[in-house]
Structures are given as structure tokens and as C-alpha cells.
Amino acid sequence: MKHRDFKPCALCGKGMMHRGDPTFFEVTIGRRIISPGAVNRAVGMELMMGGNAELANLMGPDEDLAVAVSNDHKVLICTPCALSPQGIAQIEERILDAAEEADASEAVTAP
């Protein structure tokens, strides 16, 4: 990561090493949707291969079973926040907030 890529912790707002720990977490939040046609084809191939999913994966078209419906959002989280019980709850909140923001921005940009 370059210097310009560093941002404050998404939870506490402090720097990544504010407690001296050189490790931190980069969390990517994105929204995906299952592609029913691709799933049906994958299941069909698996059935043709006698229920062997590994063989079906080798023999099948190797297509995506889910596609992105929003841009991914990356946030940095310092280790103390990520490992604390309160931090885990905040991360879950942050994921839900990012999903709501993505929905709102897609509604604005939709024709």
C-alpha cells in the first residue's frame, strides 16, 4: 500500500498503528447477486456427473455464479478495534450502512 492509500480507522478514527501494533485489517464490502441461470447450469452439470461437484467444476463452463451489483468499498480497521467485541459489532453496522449507501446511490444513478 502506498502512503496515499492509508486512511484513519473506519471505527475509531485513529491511525493504523496508534497502539503500536503494525498489523491492521483491510475490509472490502461489496454487494453481489446470485445468477440463477448459472446456478441451474452448475447444478445440472453436477447431476450429470453423478453428484460429484469437483468433477462438474472441472467439466463445466466455469462461469460466475454471482455478479457484483455495486462497487466495492474498502475500509481500514486497526487491530484493537477489529479484535474487540465492540469493534465486531461496529464492523457489522458499517457493512449494513455501506450496503444501504450503495442501494441509495444506485437508485439515484438508475435511469
Q: Identify whether residues 12 and 40 lie together within a single domain.
A: no
The count of domains in the chain is: 2
Q: Identify whether residues 50 and 88 lie together within a single domain.
A: no
Domain holding 61, by residue range, is 33-68
Q: Identify whether residues 73 and 111 lie together within a single domain.
A: yes
Give the C-alpha separation, 23 to 78, whole Å: 7
Q: Identify whether residues 81 and 111 lie together within a single domain.
A: yes
Q: Identify whether residues 75 and 104 lie together within a single domain.
A: yes
Nearest to 72 by CA among 108, 32, 104, 28: 28
Q: Which carries the bigger pLDDT value, residue 99 or residue 69?
A: 69
For residue range 11-54, list pLDDT tens digits in order.
889 999 998 889 999 988 788 899 999 999 999 999 999 989 88
Amino acid at 68: A
Q: Identify whether residues 102 and 81 lie together within a single domain.
A: yes
Q: What is the pLDDT of residue 107?
A: 62
User: Does position 63 have pLDDT exceeding 70, yes or no?
Assistant: yes
For residue range 73-93, list pLDDT tens digits in order.
788 999 998 888 777 777 777
Q: Identify whether residues 5 and 54 lie together within a single domain.
A: no
